[in-house]
Amino acid sequence: MTTVPILTAVELYKTFRISAPGHAHAVLTALDRVSLQLATGETLGIAGESGCGKSTLAKVMAGLLTPDAGSVLFKGTPLSQLAKNDRTEFRRRTQMIFQDPFSSLNPRMRIGDSISEPLKIAGMADPQRREELSRLIAAVGLDGNAVNRFPDEFSGGQRQRIGIARALAASPEILIADEPVSSLDISIQAQIINILLQMKQDFSLSMIMVSHNLLVLRHICDRIIIMYLGAIVECGPAAELFRRCRHPYTEALIAAIPGVQSSIVSKGELLRDDLPSPLSIPPGCRFHPRCRHAVERCHREVPALVEYADGHTAACHLSRQLYG
């Protein structure tokens, strides 16, 4: 019997109308036919350069943004078809941790009130709520006295711990973390990552982790998706992706990691020019203007995601030729 994924994206398409110099009322394509699955208990990483659509995808998967086309399924049922009560339950079961924890906290509320708010909404009695609040505070490594303080009294790392505790208060099944450690010092990053790993185990969570840091994703994720200009160009098991990537863009991202061995000298030798504007996505393979291997076919034909090994797919016309 096949297990239904806890969260599924089917052909997601999302655009934004923006005003930019030389582009009056321009349309920015943030997601272009993106499909993925999150298995129960899995941690899925989403990586790519800034502007590739990572955060938009995370917000659509969390139900915070509505796609122009395509659908998100929760345990096999499209969000658009959920009854009002079921949609409220989905929002409770799917919690998001943001890059800037301060923006997600009410500066006028004490930390204890912010964290326990979901417990109060759920109708939990005061004595039980206080007990659960103490458990959550301890779980994320904060002192018990923190509950009486305000957000601006905490460091960035402490605020992120508070954000995690607040998300866990809703008893989620899915945790979506959007660049949760990118603004923190290296030593603090490690602490937050270890907390997330422990929380996944303690609370039996399925997780989506968005990050531009592939080393973080390799450490915490079962699978990693690589995005480029709104589309998935590669997806595979985390260890396999590092051992044998199958797309030139993934190869360039890995080559850019300090201390990681690569057959190519530098990222600069792998990437030509800067990231194109998402207002004008190149035809054919969207990566071809920056790819040193591009041939004429790459300029005119969009590559399909092809499976080369169990669970390892890539969208590159030359993948087999380049990587065997």
Considering the domain boundaries, does residue 231 fall inside one? no
Considering the domain boundaries, does residue 264 fall inside one? yes
**How many structural domains are present in the chain?**
1
Q: Of 87-91, 98-102, 115-119, 201-205, give the lowest mean pLDDT range.
A: 98-102
DSSP bridge pairs for 72: 9
Residues of the domain holding 275: 245-324
CA angle 46, 47, 51 (to 5 degrees): 110
Considering the domain boundaries, does residue 301 fall inside one? yes
Considering the domain boundaries, does residue 117 fall inside one? no
Please measure the distance between the N-terminal and C-terminal CA atoms of the chain and give it in whole angstroms: 34
Considering the domain boundaries, does residue 65 fall inside one? no
The distance from CA 178 to its chain's CA centroid, rounded to whole angstroms, is 5
Q: What is the structure's pLDDT at 22? A: 64
Considering the domain boundaries, does residue 74 fall inside one? no
pLDDT (average), residues 172-189: 86
Interval 209-224: pLDDT, tens? 999 889 999 999 999 9
Considering the domain boundaries, does residue 126 fall inside one? no
Interval 299-322: pLDDT, tens? 999 999 999 988 999 999 999 999
Interval 93-138: pLDDT, tens? 999 998 876 677 788 889 898 888 888 887 788 888 888 889 888 8
Considering the domain boundaries, does residue 239 fall inside one? no
| Predicted confidence (pLDDT) at residue 296 exceeds the cutoff of 90 | yes
Q: What is the structure's pLDDT at 53? A: 94
Query: What tokens were used for 288?
Result: 């071809």
Q: What is the structure's pLDDT at 262? A: 52
Which has the closest alpha carbon to 207: 310, 279, 283, 199? 199
pTM of the complete model = 0.90
- CA–CA dist 102, 154 (Å, integer): 9
| Predicted confidence (pLDDT) at residue 66 exceeds the cutoff of 70 | yes
- CA–CA dist 165, 168 (Å, integer): 5
